Amino acid sequence: MRIGGVLPSKPGPRVIDYDKRNAMTTMKNLFETAKIKDLAPDTLEVTSKTGLTTDHGVPVPDTDNWTKSPREKIHRFDHERIPEQSGTSLLFSSLFVHARGSAAHGYFRVFDSSAAKYTTAGVLTDPSRTTPVFVRFSTVQGARGSSDIVRDVRGFATKFYTEEGNWDLVGNNIPIFFIQDAMKFPDFVHAVKPEPHNEVPQGQTRIIIFGISSPEASHMVMWAMSDRAIPRSYRMMQGFGVNTFTLVNGEGERFFVKFHWLPELGVHSFTFTAKTSKKQSTPAPPQNTPSPYKSSHPPANTTSPSTSSTPRRYGLEELVPLQEIGEMVLNRTVDEFFAETEQVAFCTSHVVPGIGFSDDPLLQGRNFSYFDTQITRLGINWEQLPINRPVCPVMNHHRGGQHQNRIIKGQVNYWPNRFQAGPPIPKENGGYIEFTQKIEGMKARVRGAKFGEHYNQAELFLNSLSEHEKMHLINAFSFELSHCDDPQVYETYTKLLCAVNMDLAKTVAANVGGQVHSSPTRKPHHEKSAPLKPTIKSRRVAILVEAMKALLKAGGAVPYMIGPRRGKIWPCGKDGQRSTLFDALLMPSGQQSADTLVASGRCIHWVREAFGHLKAIGAVGEAVSVLHRALKLEVTQLEFASSDDSAVTSSYGVVTIGKYNVGSIATDALEIITG
Ligand code: HDE
């Protein structure tokens, strides 16, 4: 037995052992200081021979499937974080995942009581109610101070302060998830977060690393590599409850439901590849700070289409149509980031009467994990914090704990008691009743057979993308995989892609220098979902007017840009806005204007950069020559319209418009911009 930490009762005189000290200063021993030796007994190298056990040493045969009892893995995960060190101050412990966020206040209202056939929940059925909400949007992987425009899933967590208590709908902007059982979550998060030995990289896609050994992630990885993972703003992305919940109506009937948010402004993405995110983040205006925001909230027994040209989720929407039942408006930003955005805490287990849970093993695990994690983050009384507390009365017999704010008068803190004080509330008076159901079958720690198919939906997602979206996806896969130096990663992943789509697998393999496979590992179904209606709302379109201004100034005129309302003109030079900050670029016609643009190195660079970042580009009449000058080195096949009225759209997303057809500019521009 080794006994540590025992000090001699009387320390003797300090004797310096010169031989030992000299030995320690040689290069070899510099790495073997007394401290390193001291730490050695506590250091364990993980190898293929060090098998898994619980914290109390019992061998573990399965870490991926959830049963109610062995919760240690999730428990440990929930309490993994300690307060974050930041500069000279200690910030309160950040969320482990979803650490970087922005939040806003608002309200939710249903259009009518049509959902009453599914649920008794007043928040979903009573049109006379205005339910306050607080929504926190977030990225998943990065730490609290990381960029919020990286390729990542976005969190979309909504707290409804209803008359019957708080309902937390803790969702994401992608309708599915990487794993099927919550028990895998700690492994998944560890794999996508910075590496444990050096805490890098920060806020970057590491999902493929996890995906190589977890084919169940295939569908979600497709979404993560698509433009959906680089939303243009939190105001322009969908939200999904992801898990299946249940609704119970007045007759006691139960329905399965998936909750969806559809943004008024449409679903838009940054059109850049991962490598350009730095360019995008530095000078960007606060794209992701919520401003008045409007989205509809259609809980229904279905998934829903989105409003971008990206596809529907499963094709199930065709079978069970979406029902829009209400609208959420976010109209107020927070007064203090820490007190509101940082301290807000959500729990999937928080539902109100009329809403319940399915048996989805992901949801069941989440119902345990969120409450548990808040205990570490905010303490056991976290629900008393101003941003978290309900707007309806709270009374129970829970007492004490750190930071207890409430002073409860009276002699009893238990039930039943002889005063009948603090009695349970029966169902007739609004008490929450669990849905009663008959259950039969085996109880075993295994994954059900229906969880075994991983590629059909991934293929459906890919098939449903438009051509330019496919191109973005291929670029994203190629970019991410070419940054994995270990051939095992890119070889395994391109092989896995053969089960999704052979063309995708071949192109990516060729791009990353991996093995190009010739035969699919699965029979493709070739199905696709209908695309969704695009919208130009809120798109930022750059119009290159620099040349015209210069021209007018040279002639002694005082140029004004006149439009139906006041707007801004930004310089495109070194200190101005980059082309990467816009969704599209339009260059007006005019010979002198075009000549000035062609002569300006900055403008040419601007156009090239826009093209390189896959922006929609429109050129009218003589401005086509600017495209020639800027792009001819890169694109030989680019077609250009002659100077008549026609418009030509090339497969590169560039449209050129005839000289005189001013009327068609808006239509064509709209078409290319919305893809
Ligand atoms: Fe979370 N998740 N999660 N998650 N999650 C957390 O809770 C967890 C999952 C989501 O803005 C944590 O308060 C498990 C799916 C959002 O405050 C933690 C599993 C979805 C947020 C946690 C999942 C989400 C979180 C970390 C099972 C989409 C941020 C801190 C696989 C529906 C909420 C915290 C905010 C946060 C656990 C999976 C969304 C650790 C065990 C699926 C939006 O408790």
d(CA 642, ligand 1 centre) in Å: 55
Total residue length of the chain: 675
Ligand-binding annotation for 370, yes or no, is yes
Greatest mean pLDDT range, 197-211, 268-282, 313-327, 596-610: 596-610
d(CA 302, ligand 1 centre) in Å: 22
CA–CA gap between residue 332 and residue 290 (Å, rounded): 8
Q: Given 352, 384, 416, which residue is the final one in a domain?
A: 384
pLDDT score recorded for residue 77: 82
357-367 residue pLDDT tens: 999 999 999 99
pLDDT band with cut points at 50, 70 and 90 for residue 569:
low
CA–CA gap between residue 207 and residue 489 (Å, rounded): 11
Tokens of 252: 């006691």
Catalytic residue flag (residue 98): yes
Mean of the pLDDT values across residues 87-114? 76
Residue 647 lies in a domain: yes
Residue 435 lies in a domain: no
Q: Sign of the CA dihedral 54, 59, 64, 70?
A: negative
Residue in 95, 193, 357, 358 to alter for ligand 1 test, most ligand atoms within 8 A of Cβ: 95
Crossing angle of the two packed helices 601-612 and 624-631, in degrees rounded to 10: 80
Q: Whose CA is nearest to atom 20 of ligand 1?
A: 171
pLDDT band with cut points at 50, 70 and 90 for residue 236:
confident
Up-side HSE of residue 460: CA atoms within 13 Å toward CB? Answer: 16
Consecutive H or E run containing 628: helix 624-631
Residue 85's SS3 state is strand
pLDDT score recorded for residue 556: 67
Greater confidence (651 vs 491) lies with 491
Residue 601 lies in a domain: yes
| CATH code of the domain in which 104 resides | 2.40.180.10
Label residue 252 exposed, middle or buried (CB < 10 Å: 0-12, 13-18, 19+): exposed
Tokens 């056939």 belong to 117
Average pLDDT along the chain: 77
Q: Given 347, 364, 384, which residue is the final one in a domain?
A: 384
Question: What residue numbers bound the domain in which 354 lies?
Answer: 72-384
Number of H helices, E strands in the chain: 20, 18
Residue 79 reports pLDDT greater than 90: no
Q: Given 350, 384, 418, which residue is the final one in a domain?
A: 384
416-430 residue pLDDT tens: 999 999 999 998 989
Residue 171 lies in a domain: yes
Q: Which of 98, 105, 260, 297 is catalytic?
A: 98
- Burial string for 423-450 (b: 16+ CB within 10 Å, else e) reads eeeeeeeeeeeeeeeeeeeeeeeebeee
pLDDT score recorded for residue 290: 35
Adjacency order of strands within the sheet including 355-357: 254-257, 245-248, 355-357
Residue 354 reports pLDDT greater than 80: yes
176-199 residue pLDDT tens: 999 999 989 988 988 888 888 888
CA–CA gap between residue 407 and residue 46 (Å, rounded): 50
Residue 233 lies in a domain: yes
466-522 residue pLDDT tens: 887 898 899 999 999 988 888 888 999 999 999 999 999 999 999 999 889 888 889
Residue 429 lies in a domain: no
Query: If you write DSSP's letter for every residue of 542-606 in order, what string do you get?
Result: EE--HHHHHHHHHTT-------SS-------STTS--GGG-SEEEE---HHHHHHHHH-HHHHHH
Whether this model's pTM surpasses 0.90: no
Ligand 1, CB within 6 Å, residue ranges? 74, 78, 95-98, 101, 136, 138, 155, 157, 170-172, 177, 179, 182, 185, 242, 345-346, 362, 365-366, 369-370, 373-374
Residue 560 lies in a domain: yes
Residue 162 lies in a domain: yes
Catalytic residue flag (residue 511): no
How many domains, in total, are found in the chain? 2
Least confident interval from 53-62, 169-178, 324-333: 53-62
pLDDT band with cut points at 50, 70 and 90 for residue 312:
very low
| CATH code of the domain in which 550 resides | 3.40.50.880
Query: If you write DSSP's letter for every residue of 374-400 in order, what string do you get?
Result: HHHHH-TTGGGSTTTS-SS----S---
- The answer for residues whose C-beta is within 8 angstroms of residue 478's C-beta and 6 or more apart is 507, 508, 511, 512
